[in-house]
Structure 1
Amino acid sequence: MKAFKHSGIYLSVMSALWPGVLMAEEGTDVGTINVQGQVLGGGMMVQDDSAKARSTVTKDALDKMPAAGNAIDKLKYTPGLNVNSNDASGLSGVDYSMRGMNSDQIGLSMDGIPINDSGNYNVYPNLLGDAENLQEIFVTQGASEVDGPHIGSSGGNIGLVTRRPAKEFGGFVKQTLGSNNLSKTFARLETGEYNGFSNWLSYSHTEAKKWRGEGRQYSDKFEMNSLYEDGNGNSSNLVMKYNRQDNTNYNTVSKAQFDEEGRDYDYSSTPQYNSNGQLTKYYKLHRNPFENFTLSFTQKLQLRDNLALTLQPYYYWGNGGSFSGQSASVLSSTSDKAGQYDLSNLTSNTYYRPSWTQTWRPGVTTRLKWDINEEHSLDIGYWYERARQLQTQPFISINPDGNPSQLWGKPGSGNQVQDANGRTVQGRNQYTVTPAQKIWLQDTWFVSPDWTLVAGLAYQHVERIGENRGSLYNAPENRRASYHEFLPNFSASYKVNQQNQLFYNLTRNMRTPPNYVLYNVGDSISTKPELSWNHELGWRFQQDQMLFSATLFYMRYSDRQVSTTNADGDYEMMNIGNVENKGLELELSGLLPHNFNYYASYTYTDSRQKDDLVTNGGKPLPTSGKDVTNVPNNLLNLTLGYDDGLYYGSISSKYVGAFYGDLTNDEKIGGRTVFDLAAGVHLPVDKKIVKSAALRFGISNLFDKAYLTSVRSTTFNAAPYDGVRASTPYYNVGEERTFSVSLEATF
């Protein structure tokens, strides 16, 4: 097997099997920044031999993007992805789609641990950490990893790789200022290496005004990474990240509101009341306080020359919530619909009612890699997680100035309304336990120096154990559901010559229904898991001066899950049947004379519903053959850059095609083209103290384009159909032109 240890085939297979682990091992120290001249496409594309579509954004590219953006913001030019954030602070909401899949259908991991919410699979910016502490971000657009720790992924994966500690003592500081009073202060201290131990510790504070409406965003982050290497292939790596935020939400808009009032429409800056006396659409109520902590420990043991074991326990804790209603909630002596409370002590009043969630999420992944002989390498693994979520909706009094008397809605905190018996009144009170496990076996067969075949099989089993503890609207009830599936995968890679590679892969994925199927009305608990088959056929052409890849993809998934509301306004899960996604991805990067470089990516996606939808009332809707909502057919990214080792600059354009807001395709949002500008200079420094320094500048939405970015709330039909009432889709709004400037130094 030693003959294959450092071959291209070996590295390609390792990259395909353990991308996060391999990249963490092979990543170079960046505690000191040494200018080496330009790289292909400014670091937006790297050479890759894996048997699947895969894109990587390197540290060089991350550094040159707007300084306050979060990790997902950095993927805005990646093929297959349509990324949109509420603002440039990196703290507010972020949404994205990939090959016709929404963000809650795509796996997201950080150093091998899952980041998607364990209940509804959403992704929140506060979970992503500081981008300054990332070594790289990789995307597998269609083929999921066999060892991926996900229960909500229909296909594909985004992986964040934390930078390794530097070998020398030092530090890094960065100050960013920008539009809308944006300010981010970041500092990292490196201890250097001592007897195999090396560490870094970082802190950041970010704040900004909302770019539309009133309100501010605040965030404090503490992160650390400790690494021990014994020089014999054994290592221990501990990564911890903590975030605490206090954000004010943005309001969504309908197409009609956007056309009439423009992109500045948001919550009111002054108190206003509806006909029922409720404080409505007031920005001081629409808050999103949250804190979270993640810990991962990776222990690698080289048991024999051909046998390696990796143990990775992890833990996630989250505590926070958001007020999402348009109006303050009314509570009176007659509000109890389920007979759970004695409200005789109450008079009619209005309250701040946040949807509060506490999460406790321990898990562990175990991997064993056995290089049997020169032809075969076997991977065996087991993943287990036991997530717990407590989801409540307390009623909190509102001060005369419109501020909640208590912002944090954690159970047991002050100012929460209690009934005559001293019980805290809840609009929702649910406790969910989700044990999940996966076991897998995968064989890599090095058929020849040019041919590599990989075949594997995973078995995944997930339970949802729900305890509805009783609320204003629901009596106590326990529910339980389980889901399990065998998930095979296969890939083949053929190296035609040094420049050309062909590959094909096929993967099976299961997306477990979200936790709220246990509590929705109707028969949501019988919702089947969403299953998908993902096919990819690709070609890569790679030279020192140019990289090119082309991938055809086809994904068919059954029992597509959509959350909706019934005639009474209660949430319910619906199965809209079969959906097909197919298309083409192209990616090109290279160098030009006189220190110029270029990068381009194009994605065509055809995402079609295959069945007509039948509403809860038994009424049919003409959805067969219609586009899936929020999926533009065309995405095109073009970047022209310059980098002479001292100065750099780039101008990028992103075209996003039109998309629909409803399943019957009655409401269409037009396409848009947005331009961004980035520039910077590496400053002369005294190497004795400051090892490197840079001044960076960026402008987003250079020509101040006004547009709607994506669908926030999908509806079945935006026009009436034979007794089926129309409902209005709502959208996120693209940010106005913004700028940022940052000064950084490495010591």
Structure 2
Amino acid sequence: MTQTSQQTDARARRWRSLAMGGICLATAGLPFGARAAEADGSATAITVIGHPDPEGLLPTQTEPKSVSAIATAFIEKQAPTLNAFQLVNLLPGANVSSSDPYGLSATSSLTLRGLGQDEIGVLMEGAPQNDIGYYVAYPAQFADAENVQQVVLSQGAVDIDSPVVNGAGGLLSLHLDDPHRTFGVTIDGSLGSYNERRVFARVDSGEIGNTGLRAFVSYSNNRADNWRGAGYDLRQHVDAKIEKEWGDGNRASLAFSYNEAKTSTYPSPALADWQAYGRSYNYDSGYTGGDTAYWRFYRSPFRNEYVSAPVHLVLSDRLTLDSTLYLQFGYGNSPYGTQLTTTGNTLGTETLTQPIALPGAVDGTATVLGNFTGQQFRGGDVARLTYAAGAHTLSGGLWFDYGSDHDVESFTAVDGNGNPLDEWGHTAQAIHTADGRLLAALDERTTTVIKGFFLADRIALTPRLTLEAGFKGVDVLHNGINYLPGPQSGVHFDSFAALPRAALHYQIDKRSQLFADVTTNFRAPDEYTLYNTYYRGAPSGQGTSALRNEYSISGEIGYRYVGPNLSGTIAAFHYNFRNRQLATIANVDGALINTTLNAGHQTSYGLDGEIDWRPIEGLSFYASGEYLHARLGDDLPVAGDLLPTAGKHAVSSPDWQFGLGGTYDDKRLFGSFALKYVDRQYSTFMNDESIAGYATLDLSVGVHLAGLIDRNRTDVRLNVINLTNPHVLSGVQQITTNALDTVGRGGTTIAGSAPTYYIGSGRAFVVTLARQF
């Protein structure tokens, strides 16, 4: 079929709105770290007497690895619209590229120590949130901020039990609030810039009769105009949780989350587009015949449900069992505008001899909605046994995960005003061939089966020194069907990763700790690397099962201090990658095609640090920083030649990042600020294009009204997002091998292609009234 560059550009964004993550409870996590110590009660207690941290940005940690966190005290002072990526922006190593001040759009990114979000595992209450096919997570679909108790960011070592297959870049874990023990109602209302309107309501049951059960359910509704260009976003969300505790530490929970949204995709400019149009680089606000850039064509609807059922059982004074079952269901569409003709179409490699019916066609051509739809199911379980025997705490467990993903690129008619017949992209409403088959540029179904096991031992060598050693084995199996006519039908990929690890923790005294760890991680090739793609009846991308697992060995050594008024951590880290996998765009016969490249070896090392100072009660200052040295180790194979990339900077890996935050809370007035600076970022393997460093600043001020109206907690706060409103590119949306034509090692000229970027969001004001009853 005939296709325009609009379709090719949309291909680069196809899965940003199709998150099929899950929600369940953190009790399933295998304790490779401080949690192992808790199993036998041997963890060294740290008691801090001084000014408590009102900021919630440096909770006390005892794990033998780099780990940062934000807690309720920080989260509740931020704009309630912010998603989890935006909330962790101040933490060491976190580089958040957000195109939307309210965190609603899927056009955003998180990198950690220079590693992209498809290499960062994301858990919500212990269950994987990453897309089963492409490994990206979508924070706009996570739980409402009011229900999040803590967000933990592990910059390097991933917990041994974590159910992720893309943890080379670290781990982001969200922990939900427990149902309250007494009945209560919480209501929030927010108004803000760009017609932002949000309501949130939560009801806690308290203990239900004498059953020991308690529960909460919440609902939120959020609407905001696009801050740039035409369009608006809608989001409805439900969180619910019921739990019971009994005996000496037994606990069972059932959690449910539902998300339904229609959010806008912001166009990502090339550097030339940014220089020419700046923030005016947007989709069209009105529709005229033949226009494929109308904003309604780039508005993504999606719907997701998550269920989890974690159980923690104390079988004896030495033995515990943890098991978490999770289920996920999701459907969504990431559409774009394009044109079709009644004749000259293809289906895979088959040329259609009969014309297709195109409503609204003029001279045989019609503007249509191109759909990228995904329907996913995912279910799994993580189970472990923990046994304490003298100086040893032994843990072992199994992980099983089954996923089904059906992806279709179809086309839907639009009316004369540019309104799609069906924005959800259901196949029943899509355009069909003359003989009744679905007209599709992509139609594939993949089944993914993951099986893993893990063993760990925590050994108390002395009362202050502990050694942890563990091994994890993970097998990833992809089986798929390509339904399009052509040379490819079934696809298959099977790989196994062996992941040993070790860590040391030394408690110098009640305030100081030393830690060190060596960890292995991997990233299995995503399912889309397996399939052929077709353009105008010919293969435009060759599917392969020859890609190897990306494998990394990382090490850290650090010092942690927890004092009465001052706390901090500093850590040195080093990574060595084999088969570094990077998603990029390749130029194939003039068509830009999404592909994954094996970039060979990469070495990264650097320093992370964070410090929190509490000079007086109610006042806190926080600072973080990172130095990163990330270099490619090999020349890159491109178009039958080698691109001279050895020694070049790794893409999206700023050398320097700094964060500075502060909070004041005197029980009546409160406020906070968050300043973040990100250094220059390269967007090509050849380092022939980059974006400049930039800084953002967020502020909040508020008043606690409890005692003035009644004794119920009542807060009013004003949040200012991106106060200084810099006009900047905030990150790399799509990397390329080289932006300029480059002569390869073999003497051929390798054509360049332009990277694309996120445009940093504009300034926004949000006023929130929150009240508890």
Q: Return the alpha-carbon distance in structure 2 between the equivalents of residues 256 and 517 of structure 1.
A: 30
- Partner residue in 2 for 1:34: none
Question: How far did 1:122 drift?
Answer: 1.0
Aligned equivalent of 2:682, options 654, 660, 670: 660
Partner of 1:492: 504
> 5 Å matches for 1:655-734?
655-685=677-707, 691-722=712-743, 723-734=749-760
Unaligned runs of at least 5 residues, structure 1: 1-11, 27-36
Q: How much has 1:282 moved relative to structure 2?
A: 1.6
Structure 1 residue 342: Cα displacement = 6.0
Equivalent of 1:334 in 344, 351, 371: 344
Q: 1:112 aligns with which of 126, 130, 135?
A: 126
| 2:770 match | 744
- Paired position in structure 1 for 2:292: 280
| TM-aligned CA distance change 1:647 to 1:421, over 3 Å | same
In structure 1, C-alpha distance between the alignment counterparts of 2:600 and 2:192, rounded to whole Å:
46
Task: Say if 2:184 is the partner of 1:158.
Answer: no
Secondary structure of 1:526's match? coil
Name the structure 2 match of 1:382: 398
Separation (CA, whole Å) in 2 of partners of 1:341 and 1:408? 26
Worse-superposed segment, 119-128 or 307-316: 119-128
Q: Which amino acid aligns with 2:771?
A: A
Among 378, 401, 420, the residue aligned to 1:361: 378
Distance in 1, matches of 2:37 and 2:282, equals 40
Contact preservation (8 Å) 1:294, 1:315: yes
Contact 1:69 1:89 in 2 (8 A): yes
Please tell me whether the aligned partners of residues 202 and 224 of structure 1 are also in contact (alpha carbons under 8 angstroms): yes
Instruction: State the partner residue of 1:221.
Output: 237
Contact (CA 8 Å) 1:105, 1:153: kept in 2 or not? yes
Q: Supply the distance in 2 between the matched residues of 1:385 and 1:533 (Cα, whole angstroms).
A: 25
Query: Are 1:582 and 2:596 matched, yes or no?
Result: no
Q: Are residue 268 (structure 1) and residue 284 (structure 2) matched?
A: yes
1:450 alignment partner in structure 2: 464
Equivalence for 1:136: 150
Alpha-carbon distance change, 20 to 199 in structure 1, aligned in 2, over 3 angstroms: farther
**Are positions 1:508 and 2:524 aligned together?**
no
In structure 2, give the amino acid aligned to 1:358. Q
Distance change >3 Å, CA 367–CA 342, structure 1 → 2 = farther
Q: 1:329 Cα deviation (Å)?
A: 3.4
| Contact map agreement 2:587 2:753 (CA 8 A) in 1 | no
2:385–2:396 Cα contact (<8 Å) kept: yes
In structure 2, what is the Cα distance between the partners aligned to 1:144 and 1:92? Answer: 28
- Which residue matches 2:409? 393
Q: Gapped runs of 5+ residues in structure 2?
A: 1-28, 44-49, 358-363, 533-540, 744-748
Distance 1:695 1:366 in 2: 43
SS in 2 for 1:263: helix
Shift of 1:45: 0.6
CA distance in 2, matches of 1:302, 1:547: 34
Pairwise mapping of residues 246-257 of structure 1 onto structure 2 (< 5 A)?
Answer: 246-257=262-273
Partner-residue secondary structure (3-state), 1:328: strand
Q: Deviations over 1:268-324 (max 9, x none)?
A: 213357xxxx42322121110000011110011111111011111100111001124
Q: CA deviation at 1:89?
A: 2.2
Q: Provide the secondary structure at the position in 2 that maps to 1:631.
A: coil
Q: Look up the equivalent residue of 1:271 and give its one-letter code.
A: Y
Q: How far apart, CA to CA, are the structure 1 residues paired with 2:30 and 2:341?
A: 60
Asked if 1:572 corresponds to 2:589, the answer is no
How many pairs align?
Answer: 711
Superposed CA deviations along residues 189-245 of structure 1, whole A, max 9, x for unmatched, are 000013210000000000100000000000101110000111332211011000011
Question: Retained in 2: the 8 A contact 1:342–1:420?
Answer: no
Q: Provide, for residues 115-153 of structure 1, a one-character-per-residue CA deviation record: whole Å limited to 9, x for no partner.
A: 000100111134312111111100110001100101122
Query: What does residue range 428-577 of structure 1 map to in structure 2 within 5 Å?
Result: 428-470=442-484, 474=486, 477-520=489-532, 521-522=541-542, 524-563=544-583, 564-568=585-589, 569=591, 570-577=593-600
Residue of structure 2 equivalent to 1:634: 656
Q: Alpha carbons of 1:14 and 1:437: their partners in 2 closer, same or farther (altered >3 Å)?
A: closer
For the 8 Å contact 2:466–2:505, the answer to whether it is kept is yes
CA distance in 2, matches of 1:168, 1:161: 20
**How far apart in 2 are the matches of 1:340 and 1:317?**
36
Instruction: Give secondary structure in 2 for the equivalent of 1:361.
Output: strand
Name the aligned partner's letter for residue 366 of structure 1.
Answer: A
1:619, distance to aligned residue in structure 2 (A): 2.4
Q: Out of 327-336 and 167-176, give the one that drifted further.
A: 327-336
Q: From 593, 603, 607, give the equivalent of 2:630.
A: 607
Give, in whole Å, the separation in 1 of the partners of 2:219 and 2:663: 31
Q: Measure the CA separation in 1 of the matches of 2:684 and 2:445.
A: 32
1:296 aligns with 2:308: yes
CA offset at residue 562 of structure 1?
2.3
Query: CA offsets per residue over residues 491-513 of structure 1, 9 Å max, x none?
Result: 00111112211110011111100
The worse-fitting range, judged by mean Cα deviation, of 417-426 and 212-221 is 417-426
How far did residue 255 of structure 1 move? 1.8
Following TM superposition, by how much is the alpha carbon of 1:334 offset from its aligned partner in structure 2, in angstroms? 1.8
1:385-422, CA deviations, whole angstroms, 9 ceiling, x for partnerless residues? 0110000012100111112111111333x2x1111222
- What's the secondary structure of 2:577's corresponding residue? strand
2:620 to 597, 610, 616: 597
State the shift of 1:264 in Å. 2.9
Name the counterpart of 1:344.
Answer: 355
TM-score (norm 1): 0.92
**Alpha-carbon deviation of 1:155?**
3.6
Shift of residue 13 of structure 1? 10
2:275 corresponds to 1:259 = yes
Q: Structure 1 residues 296, 728: closer, same or farther in 2, change over 3 A?
A: same
How far does residue 682 in structure 1 lie from its aligned partner after superposition? 0.7
Q: Give the RMSD, CA atoms, in angstroms.
A: 2.2
Q: Quick check: 108-117 or 349-358, which moved more?
A: 349-358
Determine the C-alpha separation between the residues in 2 that align with 1:306 and 1:670. Answer: 56
Picking from 213, 231, 235, the partner of 1:197 is 213
Give yes or no for the alignment of 1:73 onto 2:73: no
Structure 1 partner of 2:162: 148
CA contact (8 A) 2:218 2:238 kept: yes
The answer to whether the 8 Å contact 1:380/1:442 transfers is yes
User: SS state of the match for residue 279, structure 2?
Assistant: coil
- Aligned-pair distance for 1:341? 5.7
Contact 1:153 1:511 (C-alpha < 8 Å) held by counterparts: yes
- Greater shift in the superposed pair: 474-483 or 158-167: 474-483
Amino acid at match of 2:92: P
Q: Which amino acid aligns with 1:692?
A: R
Query: Which protein has greater RCO, CA pairs closer than 8 Å, 6+ apart?
Result: 2
Deviation at 1:343, TM superposition (A): 4.0
Change (3 A) 1:231 1:733: same
SS in 1 for 2:168: coil
In the alignment, which residue of structure 2 is the partner of 1:8? Answer: none
Give me the whole-angstrom Cα distance separating, in 1, the residues matched to 2:92 and 2:127: 24
Counterpart contact for 1:146–1:456, Cα < 8 Å: yes
CA contact (8 A) 2:113 2:169 kept: no
Equivalent pair of 1:378/1:444 in contact (CA under 8 Å): yes
Q: Which moved more, 1:592-601 or 1:737-746?
A: 592-601
TM-score (norm 2): 0.89
Distance 2:520 2:734 in 1: 28
Alignment correspondent of 1:4 = none
Q: Aligned pair in 2 of structure 1 residues 20, 90: CA closer, same or farther (>3 Å)?
A: farther
Counterpart residue identity of residue 60, structure 1: A
**Structure 2 letter corresponding to 1:483:** S
How many percent identity over aligned positions? 29
Quote the Cα distance in structure 1 between the aligned partners of 2:141 and 2:331: 12
